[in-house]
Amino acid sequence: MKKNTVSIKSGKQSKAARAFSENLAKNCFLFAAVVAVLAVLSIMLYMFLKGTPAFFKVGLNEILFETEWRPAAKENPSFGILYIILTSVAGTTLAIMLGVPLGILTAVFLTEVAPKKLAALVQPAVELLAAIPSVIYGLLGIIILTPWMYKLEKIIFEDSETHQFTGGANLISAVIVLAIMILPTVVNMSVSAIRAVDDKLKSASLALGATKIQTIFKVVLPAAKSGIMTGIVLGIGRALGEAMAISLVSGSSVNLPLPFNSVRFLTTAIVSEMSYASGLHRQVLFTIGLVLFVFIMVINLVLTKMIQGKEKNT
């Protein structure tokens, strides 16, 4: 049988052999296509298998709604990750608030304002920003951003007796790095959304006497809203999941996410503690992974709904 499938090149194979090789090929392709499904299912399964035991040992409320994080303490360790969750939520929100306006304005520049030649210069810059490895953002964050933050911190908290100095590794530093990292995503999605807006809408608005800026902000952007929102949701996913770039600039202790506090994100807690964690501590780190995973899945579902909604509209 095998010999026959090889001889397919000669074109003289029997009907049965041909049907066999056709079927074989089809099944191979089917298997390849199912790999993605298997991967997603096993990732889900393993995240739940590894992430849930700590809930039974420590207690759901003790983990999710307590704020004290002393996982390595010999006596009475506590595993409250509320501050870590809040940090991820606050950090992502702030990064979005900073990165999204910048991204949309840049997209407007590329599509509506810039002469073609200028746009041809800015567009590659956006693409390259997306391609730079996250560790390099982290490296520049430590070398450039944190010293500035430290100076600022020293000025602001000069007379404070309660403030713990962080050396500049704080929430703001992490937020700035995250905002820069989501920028390309927001720009690219907004550009394609704005390009998809019907030219007639623009012409009509201009003909009615609106200025170009009025047209952009009152007609074009609202019309491109759903595409831009998709970009923002993608950006949220990216910011929530980023680990290495912010692991060193966000500080090293768990605190309430205030601008100048040293904080731990869901991701950075895993990165910085996994290497030495053992026993229950390690299990709780997997629980943190599970919390992050659930966040990401929710975002993915929102995204799918949005894309489906968009397809229905058009």
Segment 159 to 188, residues that bind other proteins, using CB under 8 A: 180, 183, 187
For other proteins, give the closer residue by CB, 132 or 201: 132
Give least dist CB 201 to other proteins, A. Answer: 19
Site for other proteins in 8-67 (CB under 8 A): 8, 18, 21-22, 25-26, 28-37, 39-43, 46-47, 50
What is the token pair recorded at 57? 């040992």
Task: By CB under 8 A, tell whether 304 contacts other proteins.
Answer: yes
How far apart are alpha carbons 174 and 258 in whole angstroms? 12
251: left (phi over 0), alpha (psi -120 to 50) or beta: left
Q: Are 296 and 237 within 8 A, CB to CB?
A: yes
For other proteins, give the closer residue by CB, 82 or 296: 296
Closest to 205 measured CA to CA, from 222, 187, 191: 222
**Across the strands, what pairs with 70?**
78
Out of 16, 73, 135, 256, the only residue in the binding site for other proteins (CB under 8 A) is 135
Give least dist CB 156 to other proteins, A. Answer: 25
Site for other proteins in 266-285 (CB under 8 A): 267, 270-271, 274
How far apart are alpha carbons 272 and 251 in whole angstroms? 11
Site for other proteins in 283-302 (CB under 8 A): 286, 289, 292-293, 296-297, 299-300
Q: Give phi and psi for 78, each to the nearest 5.
A: -130, 150
- Using CB atoms within 10 A of its CB, is residue 225 exposed (0-12), middle (13-18) or buried (19+)? exposed
How far apart are alpha carbons 59 and 134 in whole angstroms? 35
For other proteins, give the closer residue by CB, 101 or 279: 101
For other proteins, give the closer residue by CB, 83 or 293: 293
How far apart are alpha carbons 287 and 293 in whole angstroms? 9
Q: Are 208 and 202 within 8 A, CB to CB?
A: no
Out of 4, 52, 67, 134, the only residue in the binding site for other proteins (CB under 8 A) is 134
For other proteins, give the closer residue by CB, 132 or 258: 132
For other proteins, give the closer residue by CB, 156 or 222: 222
Task: By CB under 8 A, tell whether 157 contacts other proteins.
Answer: no
For other proteins, give the closer residue by CB, 141 or 257: 141
Task: By CB under 8 A, tell whether 132 contacts other proteins.
Answer: yes
Site for other proteins in 205-244 (CB under 8 A): 209, 211-214, 216-217, 234, 237-238, 240-244
Among the residue ranges 53-61, 87-95, 141-149, 156-164, the one whose residues contact other proteins (CB under 8 A): 141-149
What is the token pair recorded at 55? 């809930």
Site for other proteins in 78-117 (CB under 8 A): 101-102, 105-106, 108-110, 113-114
For other proteins, give the closer residue by CB, 93 or 134: 134
Closest to 134 measured CA to CA, from 187, 98, 184, 189: 184
Task: By CB under 8 A, tell whether 1 contacts other proteins.
Answer: no
CA distance to 130, 149, 182, 183, 239, per residue, from 232 (Å): 15, 27, 9, 10, 10
The residues, any chain, with a CB within 8 Å of residue 313's CB and separated by 6 or more, are 226
